[in-house]
Every structure is written in structure tokens, then in C-alpha cells.
Structure 1
């Protein structure tokens, strides 16, 4: 409560008196979103939409997709124990460690789908803006957008030669650089090349020795080529990719999750972490880093005919990784994870759209094929488990096609109706087995157990499949999920006065079923989570006041959730509670949001965003908490779902001379407490926290911009997850401490 009071007082003080918070957007300007496949003013669409411009991204030092949570209340980010990012909007998300886990928040670059969040790491580069759409977006973005959609809009090639760049140096030896070159190649051909590099920044410090972790080694690039073949036919080619050799992050050992008597002596007496923001621990002499590569090609073709436009978006993506992460927060090998995998995605969308004076429409279809190899080599020689490691191997192939339509009709000049419908047919095929890691200890253990339980000799070879079926035979499981579903949306938008709107909508979204990647000793652990669906009701308003100097938007929402997917526990008959996917039969979410953006005086603007989300598991739900205790969780909130999120910002600029403009920006964000797993255990609590960022700079008339900045000004010690991926220990994963630096940018 103290943090909430402090935040409210501090934000109010800034909004009234201080010209030093984050870059705001002139509320009178028309900001477009393409989330409905047709560009529209964000303050006129019948849904909650937030747009962050490229200028806002730069001045707020937002350089990764994770940073968006600081400026989009209702959006949360969690990095899973295997390094897979998880985005959640209004409590709708899917925390899982698998590479192939279908998300609940869809992502795209210029409307080309990015089907898995791990692929979006290189998207935050040379952007025109980012559109964040809240609530189910299944009618136009497809399934797996029950929480919402994030569309990254790349800065486009320019008519004239243009170049620009930015370099920033910061605490811990971090150096980030970005540059672009854009312009015409011929009278009908334009291109834009952008590159980005991140180096250094090792901010984690070992508790036991002189050692650091956290260096970035990330490279990304994008080439856009636009060709106006004729007056009615155009093509846009997007070639982008990235390479990541950064350190993986370690955690802090914060507690045991089983009785000490079951643990090796060296682990029973191992000291807990010192708890500092930089403190962490990992095994000495190992290279804990990522080895990931991604490349993507997308071609958008558009043919404009009288009264109608045909659009084709073709996309191919390839990703591979071979990472190593210390997941136990100690200098012992209690739980090391090496995710090894690859993704190949082919997608094609075809659509036609048109508009008359009162009617606009879209009809289309798409096809997507995915091939996923998702393995995990897990080592745990110093643990309670009776063998030293396991090599989980899974393969998935996904085939999906869909048909969709959307209509928008102006009933009278002030009332608009909108409706959308989508039919999806998906088949998700799955093969998996947990193999011995090659050392033979797992094979020997499973052989002994299977022989004892079956009453006949069972032998597993070193490196062989060690997952047992109901007859205690080593078996590679083969399964499939077939799903046919409808997503739909209906909305009404009423402009009751000039630039003053109210709207209401009802929609249904759908999310794919999911198979887990884990070291299963029983085939039952590979039981998939069934598809989930969400019925959403939302009503809101968008008001332009004071001659456009003040924009106030608000919304209230209610979600009825069926079969919510969770990473929970399943009981292994030999090893006890182990990770698995489960469905919560019934649950609900309700909440509200309020956003205000104001131009207070020439050069001074401010913003305040508030989000409240209340989640609840309905009825009886028996499962296991985060450390494997059986319990009844009806009435509990969802894990990783804070109730309150706030963001306040102010920016101010004024001329210093004829050729220089000084500016200050600052930003404050707050996230309420939550818990990492079912059971609301104190050990797994994530306390609330406040982050404050600020910058001071000078813009020169020649196109140069120099600034100094600080992130996490208060040096808040905050956690993003408490992980129990190891059956023996809990580890806390921290956000970064105070980071300060200087930046220089130019544009000609």
C-alpha cells in the first residue's frame, strides 16, 4: 500500500509541477493503428489500442520488446526458465518453457505473423511505431491472440536520401548502436537498410567469487525494398534477421522446495543468496550463453482496383538455438538446462478489402505450416533425483488454415457497427520421449524401476528412450490435437459529440492446445493442454477535450475463461510431482483502464495510464502448488497477474538558442505484487515495485541529438520470476539495477 501511495503522490506531483518525465505524444495528433488491417485513428477504433511512436521508443530508451511493459499498462513480460519469453495482456497469457508453446498474445511485423515470442527479439529496431491491441483479436489476427496483439511497424523507405543512427554507452560497459540508410534506387524502387548491435553490460555478480554474467552480444539487421511496379501494383519485401550470443541470466538461490533429508549433503548446507539486485550464482568454468539465429523473409503484394484492394502477405521464418542456462542459482550443478531446437514457419495470407461511403469490408484466408524441433538436455548430478540427467526430445508439425471476414457499417453519421468472423482448422502432431542423457544413470534407474513394477526384465540402453507407458515399456509417444473453432467479434461505436466516442464490443477468442517439452518418465506427463477459449465483453470511451489538448480514454472489461492453460504439476508414480500442462475448467477476469494524455503548455506534455485486472479461478480446482503440494485453488488469482499497473510520464522541451532545443523526459511505472505459481506461497511471491527512468538532452538544428539517461533511478530491487523448474530449489530472477549512460544520435 505504501508503494501505491508513494506512486500516486509522485506521479501527481510530476503532472502538476515537474517538466521531467517520459516522452509524451501530442494528444491532438492523429495516430493510426493497423491492427484492424485498415489504417484508422487510434482514438476512433472500437477497442482499447495503444500506439508508441518511434520517437517515444527512442526518447524512453525502449530497445527491447520486454521494455514495452514500462509504457503499456496491462502488458506483462516473464522470461521462462528455458529462456522463452512470455507476454500477457490483462491476465491472458500462457507461461510455459517450451519453444513450441503457442502464445496468448500474437505478434507481427508489418502484419506478417511472428508466431512465437522468442522470434520477436530483433523486431525493436528502426520502427515507425508499435501498436498494442488489447482483448481478443482472433477475427483478423487469428487464434493465439486471446490476450491481444502487438504489431511492430517498420520505418519505411523514403522518397529522398536519408540516414540516421544512435549510439549509447551505459553502466557495466554496455554499448548499443543502431543506424539506417534509406532512399530511392530508381524512380519506382526504394530501399531502407537498418542494423543494430548490442555489446557488453554484464550486470550480474557472483556471490562467491570475482565473476560476472550478463554480457550482451546481439546483432540484427533489416532490409526493406519497395517497388511500385505500376500505378496499381506494388510490392514490399522485408528481409530481417538476428544473431544472439549473449549470456543467459542466472538466478538467486532463495530456498529449498523439498525436505533437506532427501538432498545431497552439499546442497542441504548451501548458503542462500545475499539478495542484492546484482547478486546471482552459477557454475564456474561453463559458458552460459545463447547460440541463437533467426532470419525472416516477407513479401507483401498489393493490387489496387476501382473500389477494391487485393493483398497478399507471404512469409518464411527459420530459427535455431543451442543455449545453456544455470537454473539453480548455485555454484553446484543442481539443474542446468541446454535448450536445443529449431523452428521453420511458412505462412500465406490472401485478402480483399474495399470501402464505400458507409461500408468497409475485408474477406480473406490464410495458411500456416510450422515444423518445430524442441529438445532440452537437463543435468542434475547434485540433486534429489536418482540419476544425473535427461535429454528430452520433442517434434511438432502444425498445419492450420483459416477463413475470415470483417464488416464495418456506418448506420448514421455518428453510429458505426462492426462485425467479424473467423473459422480455423488446425492439426498439431506431436512426437516425444525423454532419453537418457548418454551417461547411463537414467537408463539404469528406469530399467530397474520398470523391471520391478512390470515383473519382467526391461532394459533401456544408454542414450535410449526412457519414458514408460502404462505397461512400463520405454515408448516414444505419438499424439495429435485436431481443433476446429470459430472466433467472432461485434462492436458499436457512437460519436455523441465532435471527437468524443463511446463503444461496446463482445468477442470470442480461441487459443491452440499445447504439448509440453519436459523430461517425462511417464507418457502421461506428455498429455496436452486442451484448447482454451475466452468470451470478452468490453465498453469504453475516447474523449478529445480542450480543443484537442487533452485526450482521455477509458475501458472496462469482463472475460469468461474456459479451459485456461497453466504450467502446473502432474504426479509421476516414481518421482512424485513433476512439471506438466493442465487446464483450469472455469475462470474469469474483469478490470478497467484509464489513459490521459495532455498538452499542458507549449513544449510540455504529460500522460497517465492506469490498469486494474482482477483474475479468479472459479469453482473447485484441485492441483499442485509451485512446490508440489496438493491443494484446492478455487478462488485464487492467476499466477503472474498483478492487479494494478500504472505509468506516468512528462516531457518538456524549450529553445536554448536559434539552433538548439533542450529537453527533459522522465517516466514512472508501477507493478503490483503477484505470485509465480498456484498456491500463493510466500516463497514464490513477486513483490510490487516502482521503476523511474529519466533523460536530459539537447537537440541541434543540424540533426544531432545528445542526451544522458538513467533507468531504474531508485535502484529498485525487483524480481520478474521465482522459478521452481528444479524439483529441489527455488530461484529468484531479477530485473536490472540502476543503469545510467549517454547517447548520441543523428539524422540527415
Structure 2
């Protein structure tokens, strides 16, 4: 695998046609193509590598690269699991459901309705996923994952303020390969993965992969004795690769997912309604309910548990052509999601905040890139353009029939949103004498979105649930943005194994809307775009090659008009979420990652992230003070607070690492055992939340263990493992719904086994 251009941020991927250059510490096939009479002979050598991603050591970034092996060993099956493998990364489920919120180095946003651009963009095989639910269930048959922090959009895709997550799935192979893996664990959890790949005809190959997940529900209701949290998911991915000649590659990919999984429900942390009793339950117990009339209104079963009912499918076509002086690439993609999600957002058995979301959305994107081809040239460049169009229709339902006398009805808020984005980008680097490289990039992005036909309707409680009041047919709202962003930097390859870099970049993300439970027009006022001015310096060093690697970076972000979910207090109604802009905030921090192979059989890794954030200029509604005033007076009226100088509440310290021991107990067999761990610091869930009980998530530490036995060259492997080995009680995210502030608990201890066969 050739080293990428210095100064670029191109994904580090496996060499084409190989099964794995990813495999830290194991014997893996290294495929070398040798020209012989116009054909290619493949020579396979056995090598032992302690470290991987050697090419990434020459890139001027602080990206975290994860191998497919690491992802499997650490039990990553969803996007939220990735936060356990990278520093200063937070990936959280919204209300425990399929919507995912991303934060990297404190840059991110919380968006239940998914009608805004995320601060961290997710890509699967170079295709951007503008709605986080679209990427659900795709973490199988992987080649690797990269997490890139900082402003992006100068070399590919869409501009963004905080970074990107690049997911690479395995490609078709020119020889036959296949395999199946069965994973069985506590609480009757079952996961099955399979794939088959091989040639169809000369220059034509395919790959089909699938995954199913069932069981695993560990919560139960003490009132009904029903359990909750079972997975019920199936996914397929198919790829066809055609190489008509030596200069052309064409790849067609299609995927499909059906997710009917149950959703873990929250535990109340605060009670805003004095007349409502909030029980204190043991960790694995929870309450939920659904009223028959509400179930009938949304068209679901009266026995419905908190769950998803999602169908996601899409296709993309990637074409590349070697033009001699450069390579041309085209990526066309269409993605669609049909989501029906029920969550008991008040986390009680009372009908005071049950929520149902119906989302129909689709996205079409087209990207063209022209890039320099010869890595030996001192000048490297890439230019391109990206277009994205999104169409969304949503219905948000809230059951407030138990919230009396204030409400006592069901509320529906439907709306349409149309959005299109056009980004043009250029990036170049030039290699000077003495191993110094200068690089820079620029992007211009225009974004236009309209929120149309939004209304709110109230339905009276009772068997009929007839519409009684049309609160409003709200005026349409629009938001347009047109901005430049860019990056400038330098790197110095001091020695073959030591590189320093410094860069300055500006990130941009367009504005958008709040569109959930809307009762007044003021809630629909669009938020402004946000920008991040980022400064970063770092080094990458193989201090003792193949024995000790240390990469480190320091960063400072000037965050302008940060988009956060604040509050808007409606008299005689209460606080409702509304996106607001923080005029100015600051984030700074440090990161390092190290891999150590001190002894023959010992392999250690450790990621360390420390970050601090503060609001330097910000005034907003104090939800704690406003709720306290309501508890005393029974009247909702906003109380504002100044948050200038207040800690923004991002987790200050994140740690994750592993220790493995590998040896050969028999001449042809390998045994591996190890521990992995992670720590996340306290996180505020509302401005000023670090000083308010219930408004922040407690810190937590998790420990896992694994042991694998396999032939060194054989087709099978057997693994036993444990996650949350110490059976800690912890909470992964939180939120507020009407009468309660709740926390979403994480899974207890799981013990399982995995057996896989490959050919």
C-alpha cells in the first residue's frame, strides 16, 4: 500500500484485492502485484506486524484509525460504540433510539428531528449520510473506520465544522472467499454475520454480506414483568465490481436494513411535576406504557413497546478513470429511510410524554473529483464538487393526556423540509527540500433549506381521539448560507520515523430549524450557521520501530455561533427545546495515542484525550431556575442566566486502551487473551448543568475481557468475551420530556462466545 500524499486527509484503506493489511500483531497475507508478461502474479508472504497504518504516520492529522479486527474484538456493532475507541469523541443515541448525535473535541449538536446538518458527517464508502438514522445497522463486513477531527470538506464531500467518521466496508475479491460468524451472549443475544465474495467473469466480481441481530433485552418492567431491549434487525449489502480495462474501475453497491428492535428506556433523574410520583427503581428496571387511543391514532399495536420500525435502503455507483496525468472519480448515491419510532420519553408509566416519530426521507448526492496521480511528484492536488439534495417529511406525536390540567391531549406536529447543498473544493500540497511540505485547501459551500407546511394539531383524550384544535398552520421558514472555509499548514518529516505538523483551519456548518412540538411561531426562527477557527499542532513518532509508537496533538478552537439545543418558555405551556446560537465559546485540549510492544507476546494500546470548553459570551433560559419557579408558583415564565465563563460541560477526560497477550501454545495454533478499558468524564446535558444535580451524566469506567483460540493458518476461530466485566451502573446519555429529566442507562455485564469459519 503506497503512502498517501503528505498533508492530505485521504482515508487509509486496505490495498485493493487483499484480505487484510489490517491485523495488528497477527500473521496476515501481504499481497504483492508483480508484472509478468502483461499479467499479474500474486505472491503471498507471511509477515508479523506489531503495528498497522504505517502510511498514516506521514499524514498531517490526528485521525484515529481502527482495523476491522479491533472493531470486532471490542464488540463494536453500532455507531455509538465507536466512542470507546477514540479520544475526545462522544457518540450518543437520542432518547435511546436510532437517531445518533456526534461530538468530536466538543464540536457537535443534539438533534432529535434530524432536520439539520450534523457537525460531524458520517461517510460509508465515501458516501455522505446527512441523516444519522440512514447509517444505522451498517457496521458489519468492515475493512476499517477512521475518525477525523477538525474542520473538513477541502478534499471530498461536504464541508463541516467538527470532523467526519469514515466507514469502509469490504470490497469484492478476485478469488473466492466466504465466511460465517455466530455470536451468542447473555440475555439470549444472538448475532450472525456472513459474506461470500468472488469472481463472476473476467474483470467482474461481487461480494454479498449480511447480518442479523436478535435478543439481548436486559430491562424489565416491575409492574407488568415484561422485558425490554431485544434486538430484531436484519441487513444486507451487495457489491459488484467491474474492471473493463486497466484504467477503469466501476463499483455498484446496494444495501437494505429492516430494524424492529426494542429501545432501552430511560430512568427519571428529575421531576418537574409535583403531582406526579416518580419511582426509584433498581438499575435494570424501567417503566413504560402506551395508551390504546394513542396507539390507534399512530396506527400501531396497543401492546407496542418502545421500539423502532425502520426500513432503510440505498444504492451508490462509484466510477474512476485513470487519465494519465490525473485520476477522475464520480460518486452517485441515493439513500432513503422510513422510520417509525416509539419512545417513552418521560420514562414513567404515566402518559405525560410518550413520543412517536414517523419520518420519510431521502437523499441524492453527486460528487466529482479530479486528483493528481503520481505520488512521487512534489506537487499534489485535488479539485472537485459535491451536490446533495434532501427531502424530509415528518410527523411528531406526543401523548400529554396524563399531564393535567395543563395539557390533557395528544399533539401532532407534521412538516416538510427541502434542502440542497453545493460544495466546491480544492486542495494542494508541495514538497520542499529538507522534507518540508506545505499544504492548503479551500471550499465554498452554499446551503438552502425551507421548512414548509408545519402545523400543530391537538387531539382530545378518550376513545375517539378526535382532532379538537388546530393550534396553528405556521408560516414557512427558510435558511440560506453561503460561506468559504479553508486550511493552511506545514509538516516536516524530520526522520523516517518522526513527523511534525501545524495547521490552521476554518470550519463551517449551515443553519437550520427547530421542528418538533411547536406551539408558537417564535420556535421556528432559524438558527445561524456556526464556524470553528481551529489551530492544531502535533507529531507522529515510531520511537522504536515496531516496538513503541507515540502520536500526540494539541488544539485550540474558537467556536462562533455554536448551535446548541436551548429552551424557549411558552407561558401556560412550559419549556420547549429550541436551537439557539452561542455567540462565542472556546475549546482547547490535548490528545495522544500510543502502541507499545515491549515484550515478544505483549501488545499495549492507550488513547488519552483531555479537553476543556467554556462559553465566553452566552445568555439563555435557565431551565433549572425556571422549573424551580414553576414548582413553587405553578406558573411558567422564563428566567434567564448569563453563562459567560461557564464550563460548556463536555467530558474533560476520555481514556481507552487495551492489553493483549498472544502466543502459540501449540506449533500451529495461536492463543490471545486480553483486557480493554474505557473512562468517560462527567458530561453536562444542559448549559450550566455541571453544577446542577440531575442535569449532568456521571463519569463512568468500563472494563472488558476477551480470549481467542485459532489455527495460525486455519479457517476457524473461537472467542469468549465479557463486556462491562465489573457490572457497573452507568448512563450513556440523557434528555428532558415534559415532566421529567431522564438518563439512558448502559448495558450491564454481558458474557458471550463467538465462533467463526472462513474460507
1:227 is matched with 242
1:670 to 674, 679, 684: 679
355-364 vs 219-228, which moves further: 355-364
The Cα shift of 1:87 comes to: 1.2
1:376 is matched with 396
2:85 is matched with 71
Cα distance in 2, alignment partners of residues 169 and 144 from structure 1: 41
Paired residue total: 684
Residue by residue, what CA displacement relative to the aligned partner does 1:485-506 show, whole Å, maximum 9, x if unpaired? 1110111110112220000000
The Cα shift of 1:143 comes to: 4.7
Alpha-carbon contact 1:377-1:437 (below 8 Å) kept: no
The Cα shift of 1:386 comes to: 2.3
1:305 is matched with 323
491-500 vs 619-628, which moves further: 619-628
2:53 is matched with 31
Alpha-carbon contact 1:433-1:466 (below 8 Å) kept: no
1:470 is matched with none
Alpha-carbon contact 2:327-2:373 (below 8 Å) kept: no
Alignment of 1:3-14 (within 5 A): none
Instruction: Summarize the Cα distance change of 1:227–1:395 in structure 2 as closer, same or farther, 3 Å threshold.
Output: same
Instruction: Summarize the Cα distance change of 1:676–1:620 in structure 2 as closer, same or farther, 3 Å threshold.
Output: closer
The Cα shift of 1:56 comes to: 1.0
Residue by residue, what CA displacement relative to the aligned partner does 1:461-481 show, whole Å, maximum 9, x if unpaired? 9366413xxxxxxx3220111
1:734 is matched with 745
* Structure 2 residue matching 1:248: 3-state secondary structure: coil
RMSD: 2.1
1:49 is matched with 63
Residue 286 of structure 2 is aligned to residue 280 of structure 1 = yes
2:385 is matched with 365
* Structure 1 residue matching 2:168: 3-state secondary structure: strand
2:364 to 346, 351, 361: 346
Q: More relative contact order in 1 or in 2 (CA 8 Å, sep 6+)?
A: 1
- Per the normalisation by structure 2, the TM-score is 0.87
1:453 is matched with none
* Structure 1 residue matching 2:393: 3-state secondary structure: strand
Instruction: Summarize the Cα distance change of 1:623–1:317 in structure 2 as closer, same or farther, 3 Å threshold.
Output: same
2:537 to 539, 559, 568: 539
The Cα shift of 1:196 comes to: 0.3
Cα distance in 2, alignment partners of residues 80 and 108 from structure 1: 20
Residue 336 of structure 2 is aligned to residue 322 of structure 1 = no
Instruction: Summarize the Cα distance change of 1:144–1:569 in structure 2 as closer, same or farther, 3 Å threshold.
Output: farther
1:59 is matched with 73
2:209 to 171, 183, 194: 194
Cα distance in 2, alignment partners of residues 644 and 608 from structure 1: 13
The Cα shift of 1:361 comes to: 0.6
Residue 476 of structure 2 is aligned to residue 466 of structure 1 = no
Cα distance in 1, alignment partners of residues 581 and 665 from structure 2: 60
Instruction: Summarize the Cα distance change of 1:546–1:376 in structure 2 as closer, same or farther, 3 Å threshold.
Output: same
The Cα shift of 1:687 comes to: 0.9
The Cα shift of 1:393 comes to: 1.1
Alignment of 1:567-586 (within 5 A): 567-586=565-584
Residue by residue, what CA displacement relative to the aligned partner does 1:303-345 show, whole Å, maximum 9, x if unpaired? 1021211100000001011121111121121210001011110
Residue by residue, what CA displacement relative to the aligned partner does 1:110-159 show, whole Å, maximum 9, x if unpaired? 11111122211122110110011111113234556322111111111112
The Cα shift of 1:24 comes to: 7.2
Alignment of 1:672-691 (within 5 A): 672-680=681-689, 681-691=692-702
The Cα shift of 1:671 comes to: 0.3
Residue by residue, what CA displacement relative to the aligned partner does 1:382-417 show, whole Å, maximum 9, x if unpaired? 115323121011211011112110101101251111
Residue 652 of structure 2 is aligned to residue 643 of structure 1 = yes
Alpha-carbon contact 1:625-1:631 (below 8 Å) kept: no
The Cα shift of 1:571 comes to: 2.3
2:417 is matched with 396
Cα distance in 1, alignment partners of residues 503 and 282 from structure 2: 46
Residue by residue, what CA displacement relative to the aligned partner does 1:78-106 show, whole Å, maximum 9, x if unpaired? 21136421011010110121122311111
Unaligned runs of 5+ in 1: 1-21, 33-40, 445-460, 468-474
Unaligned runs of 5+ in 2: 1-22, 27-47, 291-302, 628-638
Alignment of 1:274-673 (within 5 A): 274-276=281-283, 278-283=284-289, 285-356=303-374, 357-384=377-404, 385-439=406-460, 462=467, 465-467=470-472, 475-625=473-623, 628=627, 629-639=639-649, 641-673=650-682
710-719 vs 378-387, which moves further: 378-387
Cα distance in 2, alignment partners of residues 465 and 119 from structure 1: 32
183-192 vs 375-384, which moves further: 375-384
Alpha-carbon contact 2:490-2:503 (below 8 Å) kept: yes
Alpha-carbon contact 2:128-2:157 (below 8 Å) kept: no
2:106 is matched with 91
